Amino acid sequence: MTHASSGPPIVLAFSVLDPSGSGGIQADIETAASLGCHCTPIITALCAEGSIPETETVSVDPTIIIEQARSVLAQMNVSAIKIGFLGSRAIAEAIHSILQDYNTIPVVSHPALSLLDDENSDHHQLVDAYTDLILPASAIANFSLFEARAISGEQDTVDTTAHAVIASGCQTAFITGTGKQTQAFQNSAYNAKGLIKNYQWQQEQPISHGSASTLAMSMAAYLAHGFNELQTIEQAQNYTWQSMRAARDIGFGRSTPHRLFWADQNIETTEDILPGTRTH
């Protein structure tokens, strides 16, 4: 580890390259910069098309991923690590070896299971690889409810799904879209003691491509700034929601979160896009 610097907190990011720039590694870079951090990007896979969940992906050689990550960790003072789509089990194993050597750096992970392709042999063991190798090292693991159920193998209630995820070793599980029985959009945070909080949003959920990447990276950024996990979850939700409310239609028939909304002179005040939320 190098000497501490007076520069911005550094977040090491492993993620996919989405050529539309809406999700994946560009979302990580933009989010980190917006929140006062520097992102060091490591690409795990290449998407054939942009902003399309069913796009084909091509995995990067795990050897170059290891070399890139270790060069960053040896020469820069990394404050947090964000892990997105893995690409292959071999990549998960490579990242796992790095996490073991740098186990004091907090990790935020998101499996991005929307990119899984049953016809891609690299993807056949990705769920197990994430569960066995990445989840136990995660300070915060971020899922949609679908992803949490796929990872845990638990299809019953949200609570039992979260308990199964936590049993896999992560410190905190954050699950989005848990309020299926309520009118408000709900997210939920859990730890080993059970439910921490439900976060119910008064507005309907804005839909945009790259929101999950934005949420996971904003959590990593707040951890890098020294926030505790509960503060991180609350701040990251607010930032992501604002980015989604200010989303722009820039192609592919899907909106993209406006991660630099606060610097947009066309937005007179963030009060127009601030979310209303309550917790219980």
Q: What is the pLDDT of residues 91-111, one digit of tens each?
A: 999 999 999 999 999 999 999
Residue 85 has pLDDT above 80, yes or no: yes
Q: Count of domains in the chain?
A: 1
Residue ranges making up the domain that contains 33: 10-177+208-229
Examine the pLDDT at 42 and tell me if it is beyond 60: yes
In a domain, 60, yes or no: yes
Is residue 44 included in any domain, yes or no?
Answer: yes
Neighbours of 64 (CB within 10 A): 12
Q: Which two tokens stand for residue 105?
A: 């750096």
Q: Does 45 or 185 have the greater pLDDT score?
A: 45
Task: Give the position of tokens 């809406």.
Answer: 22
- The residue-averaged pLDDT of 255-274 equals 67
Q: Is pTM, for the whole model, over 0.75? A: yes
Contact 82, 139 (CB under 8 A): no
pLDDT value of position 4: 47
Strands 185-191 and 172-176: antiparallel
Taking only the tens place, the pLDDT of each residue in 168-178 is 999 999 998 88
- SS3 category, 187: strand
54 secondary structure, DSSP code: T
Cβ-in-10-Å burial (0-12, 13-18, 19+) of 125 comes to: middle
Is 270 part of a structural domain of the chain?
A: no
CB 47 within 8 A of CB 66: no
Q: Is residue 140 helix, strand or coil?
A: strand
CATH number at residue 78: 3.40.1190.20
